[in-house]
């Protein structure tokens, strides 16, 4: 007879994945509300950035954080960083590509969600690198009171060009003219004929357009561009919530007849120029030559409402959420 016996075993369920090698655990301090995040809230194919993982998963976006633990030799406990993180109190960041150490901690840390972070770098790249400005040129900035627009206008003035901005309220128009130093500004909601409005502000035409809006605004701008003009396409916030995007843009033939160069860009393609950007902008901030306005929401629980407000123009300046103190 064959004797039977039981046998306990420990088996390998699956191959070990070293997912936490080089990871960092961070305490989130500030979160950035940015319009591009709207595109991640639906199923997208062929986009430059993936949709959020799934309904019920943690939203991710740019933020400022403090490292509380690290298995990555490039980051140590106590380091302050900015980059992509979770909308939560603590985040385990497995890929540290795209995280930046904060070197100038004597400036407000929240600035790294804006003027010293992605929006500021975006303004710099769009104006200086994409548009290749020449002194004395005429520049138009749409959504000019937002996180990017307010900085573009000031870069334009510092460079020696003429700039007009559009915004969605009288208060924002006053801000552009009286605080940010725009040469002029207008409330687009009070201008039913945008073509006529632009002709009144730019009787000789527009050399550079920093595009944040799209739709009917872009359509009117194309009619008013000068020969060999440049358009930096940063975003098109008017289109993000439409079922049928691109409505209102009918004058694309102007790109041909006026020899206009229109170029879209993504800031992370230019991360190699971030040190060059900081070298320029940090002294300007410290010397008070750049004015920066934040719209601050307190508490993680108020982040969704702050984000939604971007699309009705409720925010004035850079929308930032305070999660915790350092």
Per-residue confidence (pLDDT) for residue 317, from 0 to 100? 83
The count of other CB atoms within 10 Å of the CB of residue 143 is: 30
* Residue 322: pLDDT band with limits 50, 70, 90: very high
pTM: 0.86
Q: Residues 69-117: pLDDT tens digits?
A: 999 999 999 999 999 999 999 999 999 988 999 998 899 999 999 999 9
Q: Residues 15-24: pLDDT tens digits?
A: 766 666 789 9
Per-residue confidence (pLDDT) for residue 163, from 0 to 100? 98
| Domains, in order of start, for the chain | 8-114+293-322 (3.90.180.10), 118-268 (3.40.50.720)
The H-or-E segment that residue 27 falls in is: strand 24-32
Q: Residues 239-262: pLDDT tens digits?
A: 766 666 656 589 999 999 999 999
Measured CA to CA in angstroms, residue 203 lies from 120, 195, 223, 227 at distances of 30, 11, 12, 14
The count of other CB atoms within 10 Å of the CB of residue 272 is: 7
- Rg of the chain in Å (alpha carbons): 23
């Amino acid at each position: 007879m064959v004797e039977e016996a039981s046998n306990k075993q420990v088996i390998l369920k699956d191959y070990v994945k070293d997912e936490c090698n080089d990871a960092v655990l961070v305490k989130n301090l500030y979160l950035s509300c940015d319009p591009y995040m709207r595109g991640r809230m639906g199923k997208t194919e062929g986009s430059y950035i993936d949709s959020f993982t799934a309904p019920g998963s943690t939203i991710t976006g740019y933020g400022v954080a403090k490292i509380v633990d690290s298995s990555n030799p490039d980051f140590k406990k106590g380091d302050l960083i900015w980059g992509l993180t979770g909308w939560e109190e603590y985040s385990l960041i497995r890929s540290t590509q795209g995280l930046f150490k904060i070197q100038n901690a004597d400036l407000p840390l929240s600035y790294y969600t804006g003027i010293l972070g992605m929006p500021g770098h975006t303004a710099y790249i769009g104006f200086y690198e994409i548009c290749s400005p020449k002194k004395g040129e005429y520049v138009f900035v749409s959504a000019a009171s937002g996180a990017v627009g307010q900085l573009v206008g000031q870069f334009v003035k510092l460079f020696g060009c003429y700039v007009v901005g559009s915004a969605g309220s009288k208060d924002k128009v006053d801000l552009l003219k009286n605080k940010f130093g725009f040469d002029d500004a207008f409330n687009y909601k009070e201008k039913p004929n945008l073509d006529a409005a632009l002709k009144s502000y730019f009787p000789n035409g527009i050399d550079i357009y920093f595009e944040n809006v799209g739709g009917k605004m872009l359509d009117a701008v194309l009619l008013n561009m000068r020969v060999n003009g440049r358009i930096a396409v940063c975003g098109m916030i008017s289109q993000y919530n439409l079922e049928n995007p691109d409505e209102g843009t009918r004058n694309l033939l102007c790109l041909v007849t006026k020899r206009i160069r229109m170029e879209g860009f993504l800031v992370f393609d230019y991360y190699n120029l971030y040190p060059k950007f900081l070298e320029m902008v940090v002294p300007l901030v410290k010397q008070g030559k750049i004015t920066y306005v934040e719209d601050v929401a307190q508490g993680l629980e108020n982040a969704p409402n702050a984000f939604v407000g971007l699309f009705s123009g409720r925010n004035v300046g850079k929308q930032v959420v305070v999660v915790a103190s350092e």
